[in-house]
Amino acid sequence: MGSPVATGEAGIARSPGWRVRLLSRKAVAMLFRNTVVSCLCFAFDLALLWMLVRLLGMAKIPAAALGFIAANSIHYALGRAWIFRGTERGVSAGYIYFLANAAVGLAVTVSLYALMLACLPINYLVARIFVSAVAGLAVFLLNAVLNFRRL
């Protein structure tokens, strides 16, 4: 089902503005599905982070990056099938764009995570949870608008 189209000057069709698209029922439904998938993938990410740090003795920042990448690969598969269903983007191209968007999320995640660990007396898992809210929303918007073109 396509987006509603407004008519501008001279009868030229134009798509609704950003605010209308981002606050639509469709966007809310996708954000809900994304939240479910994100929470599942994030739980996997945290478990992997804990395992890499506590059981394998890996440094916290590289462990966070590895967990993030693994969780995002799972997120792509679930996202393509359920969150952004109906996309016309091919699987390979979609995965490449998803990884590019994840790289933005990774940069935000690792930078804010390192900053929080350096500046605050905070548990590494709690810091990772706070950072995920900011990075997760940014990546959702990038994928919804630019990659899967569902908003």
Q: Looking at residues 80-108, what average pLDDT do you find?
A: 90
End-to-end CA, the chain: 12
* Helix-helix angle 25-50:60-78, to 10 degrees: 140
Give me 40's structure tokens.
């599942």
**Pair of tokens at residue 97:** 């764009």
State how far Cα 98 lies from the chain centre: 9
Model pTM score = 0.69
Segment 27-78, tens digit of pLDDT: 999 999 999 998 999 899 999 999 999 999 999 999 988 998 898 889 999 9
Query: How confident is the model at residue 65, as a pLDDT?
Result: 85
- pLDDT value of position 127: 93
> What is the torsional sign of CA 61, 67, 73, 75?
negative
